[in-house]
A and B are shown apart, each in its own frame.
Chain A
Amino acid sequence: MRRARLLIAALAGVLSLAAASDPAERLKDPAQEAQARQIFRDVRCLVCQNESIDDSEAELAHDLRQIVREQIRAGKSSAQIKAFLTERYGEFVLLTPSFSAGNLALWAGPFLVVILGGALLFARLRNRTPDPDLTPLEAQRLRTLSEDETR
């Protein structure tokens, strides 16, 4: 009885265990299998709570893995397979957001912060250093003068 219950629970398997490495699903050719795993990590398990199909044990993830592996066996490239999946499920299926106009803020945002911060720092430094139009000699004299005054 207990064993039967255990077995049922095992089949129901709510927990994902890097499902993609399952020997029952694997492709024979290691290079193709590696390519498949690479794709899995970038494909979302659509019904799961934020998991890739590489990790998920859900039924749908299993089906998606099968589709990807079949297409790889048929010799399709990773880009072709991703295009196929996007066609079918929308951009939501890919974990890498596309470099499109709609995602401009997403991709540019962090680097904009760096540029903005850099500009502010530059402005601050510029305000405080002697005017670059002065000759080095003038700048030197200005520094000595102001230093004398503070003493």
Chain B
Amino acid sequence: MIVEAGAFALILALALSIAQVVLSAAGRIRRSAPLAGAGEGAALAAFAAVAMAFAALMHAFVVSDFSVANVAANSHTAKPLLYRVAGTWGSHEGSMLLWCLALTGFGAAAVGLGGSLPRGLRALTVATQGVLGTVFLAYTVLASNPLVRVLTPPVEGRSLNPLLQDPALAIHPPFLYAGYVGMSVVFSLAVAALIEGRIDAAWSRWVRPWALAAWSLLTVGITLGAFWAYYELGWGGWWFWDPVENASFMPWLVATALLHSAVVTEKRGALAGWTVFLALSAFTFSMLGAFLVRSGVLTSVHAFAVDPKRGVLLLIILGVTSGLAFTLFAWRAPSLGQGGLFAPISRESALVLNNILLAAATATVLLGTLYPLIREAMSGESISVGPPYFNLTFTPLMAALAVLLPAGPLLAWKRGDARGVAQRLWAAVLVAVALALLVVAITSPHKAFAAAGVGLGGWLVVGALVELLERTRAFRAPAAETWHRLTGLPRGAWGMTFAHLGLGVFIMGAVFETSWKVEAAETLPRGGGLDIGAYHVTLDDVRPVAGPNYDADRGTISVTRAGKPVCQVAPERRLYTVGGETTSEVGLCYRGASHIYIVLGERRDSGAQPAWLVRAYWNPWASLIFLGPVIMALGGLISLSDRRLRLGVGRRREPAA
């Protein structure tokens, strides 16, 4: 009964989304407040309906109702509750429902928080959001309905891929989807503004909070995914330049560019066309990601919920919605003004450079992801584009961006003072160089390039702090004044400092871990050991243990340094009894920011003596890789709480109509 109610609610949501489009559009055309209000009501109701359908599906998963085809295919009674709940979005159908939930949720949020928008713009935004809701709900209802029953329910379900049964991965999709779909509001605002023909500072200010929220959520989502890969896949890799990872990274890069160009549009009225272009691109890349991940056109190590036939439908949705939006852009863009003047050395120029480099980085990821397809379609030859390509193209672009970054916030708008900036940054230069030299001194083998990379990370961190000191006139004004300035800093400024600092932390961690990780593997009997860097790893014991839906061998492994105990870990090798898959739970031993990462491998008896393959990695500074993006996302959230961004601020710009 609950399932039927859910299925009905889903169809109702589709009808409400259609009503949302028609009513809102009519409200704009006739300039009728009641009609537009009805459209907003439909948007809120559509969200409520999708939430009901989602709750119904989640309930079916929790109670293991195998008469629902989707539950039977993706769940199992022996699965722990958390993973039964997470199973709701663990399949193609369920994840599309989560997508629709986020889409209508952001639509409802736009209605709830968009009170300050001019009426026309608001009605058109709600209408556009309704169009997106309609196409994705139609797809879910007609081609990918998760609430379909089977005639003869199986006694037991087929369970969820055990690799996905992990706390980080259970919450990874909701963050990722909220981030992906958060860009839809930005998209709708852009379409609405293009139709209204007015793109100005006020519009940028309305776009920013949505872009910031989506960007922060996407940052968290990607980081969770990377952290999951790091400790679950068992070889300590956290980024593989895999198509599925790239699919989530492209919207992030575009959103990052958008956040920066929107500042120029807001403060100086310039780059309006480019900002709108990015606003449309961000959600386009989100939809491209949804298509790439689900269609199976690309082989990926994370192949997920692949279905080529439905992939074509997603491609059509992508082509039509984005195609229309960009056509509208091409038609309206020439009428957008150029905005304020600026000199070659200015904040504007720096932000434009930032955007050029981020656009090039996006192009790199896009080309690297799609080129094998293009090449195959054109000449029939198949090629591979792997990590070495990205190291040669993406990395130098990002390095250039990082070199320029600390100067940007110190430059004045319109006309900056290059010498003044250099004077303020010399301390940061010294610290960065000293850090690089220190890294060369303490590491072996010596790697000049990698040391420079770590120094570059330090440059960003110190650069962000220098900017903070400049703003507060620290050491130049009395302490009381500095304190006063510090507490009076707008949240947006804090957000920027955190985001830039987080990027520096990430770069230091990523470069250090990649360049100086150490690996060792041996077949060990009980009591046997191996050396990894300065540490000695001993396999004390291995015992069988039984989990809720798996059997495992659990090792007891102790780590010592110069004879002194450091830590004990218990890595497992699990066999999931339902599907017969093997997974490994790594043992992680934290030493400051560095990790000793231990994997219990297969059993390899030598003669009568039992022995196991044990792999150990020394991953120096690995925590920084995940800490950096968390700091960045935190920066986004701090900035989001800035009172200048509260949606009421734009009101005074509303024309008296």
Interface residues of A (CB under 8 A from B): 2-3, 5-7, 9-18, 21-24, 41-42, 44, 48-52, 55, 90-98, 102-103, 105-107, 109-111, 113-114, 117-118, 121, 124-125, 128-129
**Please, which residues of chain B bring their CB within 8 A of the CB of A92?**
382-384
- B368 — nearest CB in chain A belongs to which residue? A106
Q: List 19 A-B contacts (CB under 8 A).
A: A6-B544, A10-B602, A11-B602, A12-B580, A14-B582, A23-B522, A42-B388, A92-B384, A97-B383, A105-B367, A110-B364, A110-B367, A111-B393, A113-B356, A113-B360, A113-B363, A117-B360, A121-B356, A125-B343
Secondary structure dominating the interface of B? mixed
Contact of B383 among A5, A91, A128 (CB under 8 A): A91
Contact of A16 among B234, B360, B551, B553 (CB under 8 A): B234
Which of the candidate stretches B32-40, B297-305, B416-424, B503-511 sits at the interface with the other chain?
B297-305
**Please, which residues of chain B bring their CB within 8 A of the CB of A95?**
384-389
**Given A16-B234, A125-B343, A128-B341, CB of A21 within 8 Å of CB of B521:** yes
Residue pair B360, A111 in contact (C-beta under 8 Å): yes
Mark B359-381 against chain A: 1 for CB-CB distance below 8 A, else 0.
11101100110010011000101
Contact of B235 among A2, A12, A55, A125 (CB under 8 A): A55
**Please, which residues of chain A bring their CB within 8 A of the CB of B382?**
90-92
CB distance from B375 to the nearest CB of A (A): 6
- A3 — nearest CB in chain B belongs to which residue? B544
Give the distance in Å from the alpha carbon of A52 to the alpha carbon of B364 in the complex: 21
CB distance from B448 to the nearest CB of A (A): 18
Contact of A105 among B240, B371, B379, B521 (CB under 8 A): B371
Residue pair B381, A97 in contact (C-beta under 8 Å): no
Residue pair B583, A15 in contact (C-beta under 8 Å): yes
- B237 — nearest CB in chain A belongs to which residue? A55
**Please, which residues of chain B bring their CB within 8 A of the CB of A13?**
582, 602
**Please, which residues of chain A bring their CB within 8 A of the CB of B329?**
none
Give the distance in Å from the alpha carbon of A106 to the alpha carbon of B299 in the complex: 19
**Please, which residues of chain B bring their CB within 8 A of the CB of A103?**
371, 375, 383
Residue pair A18, B386 in contact (C-beta under 8 Å): no
Residue pair A97, B389 in contact (C-beta under 8 Å): yes
**Please, which residues of chain B bring their CB within 8 A of the CB of A42?**
386, 388
Give the distance in Å from the alpha carbon of A105 to the alpha carbon of B373 in the complex: 13
Contact of B386 among A7, A17, A44, A129 (CB under 8 A): A44
CB distance from B453 to the nearest CB of A (A): 19
Residue pair A121, B349 in contact (C-beta under 8 Å): yes
- B340 — nearest CB in chain A belongs to which residue? A128
Contact of B582 among A2, A9, A24, A105 (CB under 8 A): A9
Chain B, range 326-362, C-beta contacts under 8 Å to A: 338, 341-344, 349, 352-353, 355-357, 359-361
**Please, which residues of chain A bring their CB within 8 A of the CB of B393?**
107, 110-111
Residue pair B582, A94 in contact (C-beta under 8 Å): no
Chain B, range 593-611, C-beta contacts under 8 Å to A: 599, 601-604
Residue pair B575, A110 in contact (C-beta under 8 Å): no
Residue pair B303, A106 in contact (C-beta under 8 Å): no
Q: How many residues of B contact A (CB 8 A)?
A: 71
**Please, which residues of chain B bring their CB within 8 A of the CB of A125?**
342-344, 349
Interface residues of B (CB under 8 A from A): 163, 233-237, 240, 242-243, 298-301, 303, 338, 341-344, 349, 352-353, 355-357, 359-361, 363-364, 367-368, 371, 374-375, 379, 381-389, 392-394, 397, 519-523, 544, 551, 553, 573, 575, 580-584, 599, 601-604, 613, 615
Residue pair A110, B385 in contact (C-beta under 8 Å): no
CB distance from B559 to the nearest CB of A (A): 18
**Given A2-B544, A2-B551, A42-B386, CB of A15 within 8 Å of CB of B356:** no
Give the distance in Å from the alpha carbon of A45 to the alpha carbon of B218 in the complex: 31
Residue pair B364, A15 in contact (C-beta under 8 Å): no
Give the distance in Å from the alpha carbon of A24 to the alpha carbon of B299 in the complex: 30
**Please, which residues of chain A bring their CB within 8 A of the CB of B355?**
117
Give the distance in Å from the alpha carbon of A49 to the alpha carbon of B392 in the complex: 23
Give the distance in Å from the alpha carbon of A49 to the alpha carbon of B615 in the complex: 23
**Given A11-B602, A17-B599, CB of A121 within 8 Å of CB of B343:** no
Residue pair B553, A17 in contact (C-beta under 8 Å): no
Residue pair B384, A93 in contact (C-beta under 8 Å): yes
CB distance from B388 to the nearest CB of A (A): 4
Residue pair B360, A49 in contact (C-beta under 8 Å): no
Residue pair A14, B581 in contact (C-beta under 8 Å): yes
- A5 — nearest CB in chain B belongs to which residue? B575
**Please, which residues of chain B bring their CB within 8 A of the CB of A24?**
523, 604
Residue pair A91, B235 in contact (C-beta under 8 Å): no
Give the distance in Å from the alpha carbon of A125 to the alpha carbon of B414 in the complex: 11
Contact of A106 among B243, B371, B520, B521 (CB under 8 A): B371
**Please, which residues of chain A bring their CB within 8 A of the CB of B544?**
2-3, 6
Give the distance in Å from the alpha carbon of A99 to the alpha carbon of B569 in the complex: 46
Give the distance in Å from the alpha carbon of A97 to the alpha carbon of B364 in the complex: 13
Give the distance in Å from the alpha carbon of A105 to the alpha carbon of B371 in the complex: 9
Give the distance in Å from the alpha carbon of A121 to the alpha carbon of B539 in the complex: 61
**Please, which residues of chain B bring their CB within 8 A of the CB of A129?**
343-344
**Please, which residues of chain B bring their CB within 8 A of the CB of A107?**
393
- A52 — nearest CB in chain B belongs to which residue? B386
**Please, which residues of chain A bring their CB within 8 A of the CB of B375?**
102-103, 106
**Please, which residues of chain B bring their CB within 8 A of the CB of A3?**
544
Beyond A14-B582, A17-B601, A121-B356, list 13 extra A-B contacts (CB 8 Å). Answer: A12-B580, A15-B163, A18-B519, A24-B604, A50-B242, A50-B300, A55-B235, A97-B384, A102-B379, A105-B367, A110-B360, A114-B356, A124-B338
Residue pair A110, B356 in contact (C-beta under 8 Å): no
**Please, which residues of chain A bring their CB within 8 A of the CB of B368?**
106
**Please, which residues of chain A bring their CB within 8 A of the CB of B584?**
15, 17
Give the distance in Å from the alpha carbon of A44 to the alpha carbon of B361 in the complex: 24
Give the distance in Å from the alpha carbon of A74 to the alpha carbon of B300 in the complex: 34
Residue pair A15, B303 in contact (C-beta under 8 Å): no
**Given A6-B575, A9-B582, A103-B383, CB of A121 within 8 Å of CB of B353:** yes
CB distance from B268 to the nearest CB of A (A): 12
Give the distance in Å from the alpha carbon of A10 to the alpha carbon of B553 in the complex: 11
**Please, which residues of chain B bring their CB within 8 A of the CB of A49?**
299-301, 303
**Given A21-B521, A51-B301, A117-B360, CB of A96 within 8 Å of CB of B615:** no
**Given A50-B301, A91-B383, A113-B356, CB of A15 within 8 Å of CB of B363:** no
